[in-house]
Amino acid sequence: MALPTWFLPSWQELPKIPVSPFLYLIFIFSFLFAFKSIFRSRKANLPPSPPKLPIIGNLHQLGTLPHRSFQALSKKYGPVMLLHLGHAPSLVVSSADMAREVMKTHDITFSNRPRTTAADILLYGCTDIGFASYGEYWRQVRKICVLELLSLRRVQSFQYVREEEVLLLTNRIRESCLKQTSVNLSEMFFATSNNIVSRCTLGQKYEGGDGKSRFGQLARRVVVLLTAFCVRDFFPSLGWIDVLTGLIPSLKAVVREIDPFLDQVVEEHRKMRSDHDHDQPNYKKDFVDILLQLQDQDGMLDYEFTQDNLKAILLDMFLGGSETSSTTLEWLMAELIKNPNIMERAQEDVRRVVGNKLKIDENDIHQMCYLKCVLKETLRLHPPAPLLLPRETSSSVKLGGYDIPPKTKVFVNTWAIQRDPTVWERAEEFLPERFIDNPIDFRGQDFEFLPFGGGRRGCPGLIFSVAAVEYVIANILCWFDWRMPSASVHGKDHLDMGEVYGVTVSKKVPLHLVPTLHSL
């Protein structure tokens, strides 16, 4: 209902108060500030975060084993936790439910990679698969690698490589049996994994006079440097400190060794392709040949496939294939030595399938059910990459009810998820029996078990690595019995299970064991 006119005062009757333009400005800015504060308080529902120090944030809380530090913090602050690592906001995910949201519900938003200084220098501007930004380039090169090197069909075609390299490994161990000396299984696993990947990827082994892989030693240095502390990644304006500490010179020194080696490999393949008709069915193509064929066929890809792109992918395949396999083998044998009853059962399983045969066939592996449980339990307790490779949000997103800003670095702590006592009974114990008749698998669909990651950025080399590990360990357990060098009944108590953090987490002390030939 309208008010009567007598109720409304006349403008002429109101007192005239002089107001300066300065007061108008104060009023406007005060209103805008209040509005902005209210808006922020309503919008920014960030995840819980530990108290931080000025400038460095939460960097002081990491320690030498970040996956363990993150787990300890997540017990207090929850499965979705925001850390401030210098100037880099970092999200830590430590539960299966939150991992599902990252890798399935919001997979595309979380599919980017943060660009690090080390990866940029070592991997040709992050043009490999592991560290490449999410986009068309990454999609196409990943598809090529999966089809031509990492598919089930291709992995099966490389069975002869695995057989030949494992035969060399077992022959070396037999020599030690005759001498009754211990062997460094960590080094042996590393060399065998390198040789398998090198032959499948580069076409041949590149061993020095000492029998060690030249490329393998360079690759190991790359793995160490990829996770070295880089000031620039946390404090961009202080990047000059990395020059003074020697990190940048070390990165460039490794590149100066790797680059001509890879150039030599590519040129050798170019020459072989020109000397032979590579289109003939009897010409045996390896992965380098496939990549060179892509370079030769214009229009096959939507971008220019350069020599640096090719070298980045070759290095990526080598790093991913050799490190994860050798690290898994190392932890698997360490756990079996710690648990002799499980070792005995695994050997019985393998030897029952092999019988009186002198060679283990690929089809035999499929029947070794308990051995597969041992491998799964090893991957649960010792995922090769406990934090996977970090992701980065491409836009703002809701996760677990919290607001996650764009350009946030994301760590999925698979190590913590796979030891979660609310999911796994007796989570800290090595119990392969938990996987008997258990449908949970490591292929990225069961988010409580993610040793190879999941979603679009899951590890494409899963089939390749598992095939190598299964064949190596089946032979190691079939033909030999194993004990600690001390030959003591208390050897179990003296096995050092300390870790060294890197792209993969390996044993701090190499695994030395004494083999004995098993008599059939």
| Three-class secondary structure of residue 513 per DSSP | strand
Distance in angstroms (rounded) separating the CA atoms of residues 2 and 339: 89
In the chain, how many H helices and how many E strands? 19, 11
Looking only at the bridges linking them, the beta strands covering 88-93 and 397-399 are: unpaired
**Does residue 50 contact residue 77 with C-beta atoms inside 8 Å?**
yes
Q: Phi/psi of residue 89, each to 5°?
A: -65, 130
C-alpha distance across the termini of the chain, in Å: 104
Distance in angstroms (rounded) separating the CA atoms of residues 412 and 415: 9
* Helices 214-226 & 307-338 angle (0-180, nearest 10): 90
Distance in angstroms (rounded) separating the CA atoms of residues 217 and 209: 13
Distance in angstroms (rounded) separating the CA atoms of residues 362 and 347: 17
DSSP string, 427-464: TTS--GGGGTT----SSSS-TT--TT--GGGS-TTHHH
Distance in angstroms (rounded) separating the CA atoms of residues 287 and 294: 11
The tokens describing 486, both together, are: 């001390």
Place of tokens 């999200």: 91
177 is in an annotated binding site: no
**Does residue 477 contact residue 41 with C-beta atoms inside 8 Å?**
no
Q: Phi/psi of residue 108, each to 5°?
A: -65, -45
Distance in angstroms (rounded) separating the CA atoms of residues 372 and 363: 13
Please, which residues have CB within 8 angstroms of residue 365's CB and are 6 or more apart in sequence?
A: 371, 470, 471, 474
The tokens describing 28, both together, are: 């406007």
Report the run of H or E that residue 507 belongs to, with start and end. Answer: strand 506-507
Angle made by CA atoms 190, 192, 193, in degrees to the nearest 5:
65
**Does residue 502 contact residue 224 with C-beta atoms inside 8 Å?**
yes
| Three-class secondary structure of residue 368 per DSSP | coil
**Which residues are documented as binding site?**
459
**Which residues are documented as binding site for heme?**
459
